[in-house]
Chain A
Amino acid sequence: MAATSTRAQALTQHQQARRRRLRRGGRRTLIAYAFLAPALILYVMFVVRPMFELFGMSFFTWNGVSPTRDFVGLDNFSRLFADSLFWKSFRNNLVFVVLLVAFNVIVGLITASALARAPRGRLLFQLIFFLPVVQASIVTALVWKWIYQPDGLLNRLLEVVGLGFVTRGWLGDPDTALPALALAAAWSGFGLSVVIFLAGIQGIDQTLYDAAKVDGANVRQMFFNVTVPQLRPVVTVVFLLEMIGAFQTFDIIWATTRGGPISSTEVLATYMFKRGFTEAQFGYGAAVAVTLMIVVLTAALVSLFVRERNED
């Protein structure tokens, strides 16, 4: 009798404690969401909801203003996949991304490792490399537009070094416009990758370099056998970040060539903008944006996955 009553007491005590804990947990959850509310509400209303609406929009034809929209199912996508201009934009976008990322990863890594060995002026060089990073993309666009002009700085330099025969209007030539713009975009992101790489290099265990030196390794060997393998996680992160950024490129192209000449610099974002806003085909523009979104999110998920794995 006494035993059961104490057991019952213990049980109710246990239940009460659990209930208290839950209540406290519930209170903690409420407080936490109160702290998160402003950010979460804005984020859900103006990022998450539009993202879902984008997918919805791509199943309709709509001019963006009329109160009615016609459901057309997957029509926009079947039109899109038969649209040679879409595929050209896609291909241009890939080329643009590859050129930009290759430049910033390769030249960025070489420059960062040179900077790491420089005994003096490291901060000054970092500041100089970083100046383009803080410029507006419209500034980058304008400055490089001048450089690439027929009477611009690039042609002048080429003449000086005796390469006068390759001079041209770099953005007016369909063969050179895309790589020229990729270089301009790389210029604006270059400093960031140098700074990230430099931070990574300074985190490398110095004894590895000392050991390599004892073994008689030269600078080049140390770069390929110590720096590059040690930096692999950082290189992966920079690679994916630059790629995600480059896929969304809009400003630099819109402010210089608007996708021309003869669509040689058309990328997904500019194509989406033209179809959506300029021609008021919101449904079709949304279908282009959906492909852009899927490409970027895939790259992002891969980057998250790789980073998680590196952190383990």
Chain B
Amino acid sequence: MVAFTTTAPPARASALTRFRRRRGGMVGLYVYLTVVAAFSLLPLLLAWMTAFKDRAQVVSNPYGFPNPPVIDNLQEAWTSGRFSQYFMSSVIISVTSVLAMVVIAPLAGYGLARMRFWGRGVVITALLIGLTIPITAIILPLYSVMRELNLLDTYASVVITHVAIGAPFFAFIMRAFFLRLPAALEDAARVDGCSELRLFWSVMLPLVRPGVFTVALLEFLWTWNNLILPLVFLTSENVRTLPVGMLLLTGRFATDYGLLSAAVLILSFPVVILFLTFQRNFLEGLASGAVKG
């Protein structure tokens, strides 16, 4: 012990080693983060780059940048691969679902957040359970419901199910936004003789616009990416969506990497652009929704 203290290095040297060690720690930290970032990014980057390589390049230069970049794959997927048609189906389903959801979720969220009513606890519990019901588990009865309603092979079957399954989640997101508004707002409006609907529409709704926008983005993301609903409900070619089209493509052209990559690019481009443009809404929306739901 005594020997240790007497041979302890002078303070200056110790500060230097501490500095070195800290800098070394920072280097290690960034090396680690870069490795994990490569794990996240490289698989996607590889697919996006392959989309711009022709057949010869895919073989001769599988991991490098496309040189020169060609758009043959994209053209082929878009026209003879019918991805223009699938793209339209996906757009119709996603946009309709988003429009329905931005009406339904704020209404429900407002009711849950700002009103006291009979049966409120039961409704909230029922919706909370709804957050966790797996689509895959109820897909068999859903199929027979849609068959009874003669909705199979129509966009409506997919849109209705998307909205019904997403309703609890988005209602709770909107509820969280409405809960943040001060109670004084309502009281003031009521004193002025404002009706419930006007109170909602003209006073409260404009204040939760960021929430409505987040709902729209997330609903778009989920409907755009969803595979199982259109796979089960839509069987004819003219209503097929992008993910289903891609699933069929992987079966038929399993080794045409260029074409499949073009399909990946077409499918992921819109959501990546939306994500990079509205990062905060995605990060906060998904993280908060996940923690709350």
Contact = CB atoms under 8 A, between A and B. Distances in A.
Q: A and B: real partners?
A: yes
Interface of A: 25-26, 28-29, 31-33, 35-36, 38-40, 42-43, 45-51, 53-54, 57, 64-65, 107, 111, 114-115, 117-119, 121, 123, 125-139, 141-147, 153, 156, 187, 190-192, 195-196, 199, 219, 234, 237-238, 241, 244, 247-248, 250-251, 254-255, 269, 272-273, 276-277, 282, 285-286, 289-290, 292-293, 296-297, 299-300, 303-304
Contacts of A234: 291
A1 to B, nearest CB: 41
13 contacts: A26-B118, A35-B108, A43-B126, A43-B130, A47-B133, A49-B141, A53-B145, A131-B275, A139-B44, A187-B39, A241-B290, A276-B139, A293-B133
Given A57-B141, A190-B40, A237 B133 contact: no
Contacts of B135: 248
A138 to B, nearest CB: 5
List 4 A-B pairs, minimum CB-CB distance, nearest first: A300-B132, A35-B111, A46-B164, A136-B225
B134 A292 contact: yes
A38 B118 contact: no
A37 to B, nearest CB: 8
Given A53-B144, A114-B33, A36 B111 contact: yes
Taking residues whose C-beta sits less than 8 angstroms from the other chain, chain B's interface range is 35 or more
A173 to B, nearest CB: 18
A219 B33 contact: no
Interface of B is mostly: helix
Which of A53, A190, A238: most chain B CB closer than 10 A?
A53
A153 B257 CA distance: 13
Contacts of B144: 53, 57, 64, 282
B272 interface: yes
Given A38-B103, A187-B39, A46 B161 contact: yes
Contacts of B143: 64, 277
Interface stretch (B3-11, B24-32, B180-188): B24-32
Given A138-B227, A153-B46, A45 B291 contact: no
Contact of A196 (B108, B134, B139, B291): B291
Contacts of A286: 140-141
A39 B227 contact: no
Given A64-B144, A255-B247, A31 B196 contact: yes
Interface of A is mostly: helix
A277 B144 CA distance: 11
Interface in B151-183: 160-161, 163-165, 167-168, 171
B139 to A, nearest CB: 8
A255 to B, nearest CB: 6
Which of B132, B224, B228, B264: most chain A CB closer than 10 A?
B132
Contacts of B137: 51, 54, 248, 269, 272, 289-290, 292-293, 296
Given A32-B115, A114-B33, A138-B247, A191 B40 contact: yes
A282 to B, nearest CB: 6
Interface stretch (B74-82, B206-214, B280-288): B280-288
Contacts of B132: 244, 296-297, 299-300, 303
Contacts of B118: 25-26, 29
B127 interface: yes
Contacts of A48: 126, 130
B123 A50 contact: no
A126 B264 CA distance: 22
Which of A40, A121, A139, A285: most chain B CB closer than 10 A?
A139
B68 interface: no
A276 B142 CA distance: 12
A39 B140 contact: no
Contact of A297 (B129, B167, B290): B129
A248 B250 CA distance: 22
B252 interface: no
A145 B40 CA distance: 15
Which of A142, A241, A293: most chain B CB closer than 10 A?
A142
B105 A39 contact: yes
A12 B26 CA distance: 78
